Amino acid sequence: MFKINEHVVYKRDVCKVKGIKHRDFNNKDYYILAPIDDDSLTIEVPTENRGDLIRALISKKEVEEIINQIPDVSIIVEQGRMIENEYKKLLNTGDHLDLIQIIKTTHLRNSEREEAGKKTAEKDSAYFQLAEKILYNEFGLVLGMNYDETKKYVTEKVEELLQK
């Protein structure tokens, strides 16, 4: 059971456990969660956690292991309308490497468009921002950094790995 003030991941959002409430109508306990990027929102989730909707944050060691795998993460090969389906599927897995696959693919696609003198694709930009938000919110909390520091840290680590 998670404790009050502990950080958890609910679905794909990092949240703080604000409290635990008992509901008499069904005799169940619920976590009261607040997403870290929207403290005005509260979510009630049964403490029994059926379906693994809520989990603990990953460890620092796991963050470092994931960062070390980034250079080996492949890009998505689908094109056209199929790529958005792939983005959606990968977003919903809850897997950090799937988020990285989205980030790498959307970054590459937008870079190629810019080099060709075209505007970046809104769809790619939206998925890029969402995947980064999900990934860096959790990494940042685990590493004790804010969003921008986390993004810079990950980028520098990946650049070091690519130079080896």
pLDDT in tens, the chain (164 residues): 899 999 999 988 999 999 999 999 999 999 999 999 887 899 999 998 776 789 999 999 999 999 999 999 999 988 878 999 999 999 988 899 999 999 999 999 999 999 999 998 899 999 999 999 999 999 999 999 999 999 999 999 999 998 87
Paired residues of 34 in beta bridges: 16
- Is 75 among the domain residues? yes
Q: Are residues 96 and 41 in the same domain?
A: no
Q: Are residues 64 and 41 in the same domain?
A: no
Q: Are residues 52 and 89 in the same domain?
A: no
Alpha helices in the chain (DSSP H): 60-69, 81-91, 96-115, 122-143, 147-163
pLDDT value of residue 80: 79
Within 13 Å and on the Cβ side, how many CA atoms surround 29? 9
Q: Are residues 47 and 81 in the same domain?
A: no
- Is 25 among the domain residues? yes
Q: Are residues 50 and 69 in the same domain?
A: no
The number of folded domains in the chain is: 2
Hey, what amino acid is at 132?
A: E
Mean per-residue pLDDT over the chain, rounded? 93
- Domain of 14? 7-56
Q: Are residues 77 and 33 in the same domain?
A: no
pLDDT single digits (tens) 106-149: 999 999 999 999 998 899 999 999 999 999 999 999 999 999 99
- Is 1 among the domain residues? no
What is the distance of C-alpha 68 from the center of its chain? 17
Q: Which helix (H) or strand (E) holds 10?
A: strand 7-10
pLDDT value of residue 52: 78
The CATH number for 150's domain is 1.20.58
Please report where in the chains the tokens 């963050």 appear, as a residue. Answer: 63
Contact, 140 vs 147, CB < 8 A?
Answer: yes
- 8-state DSSP, 39: T
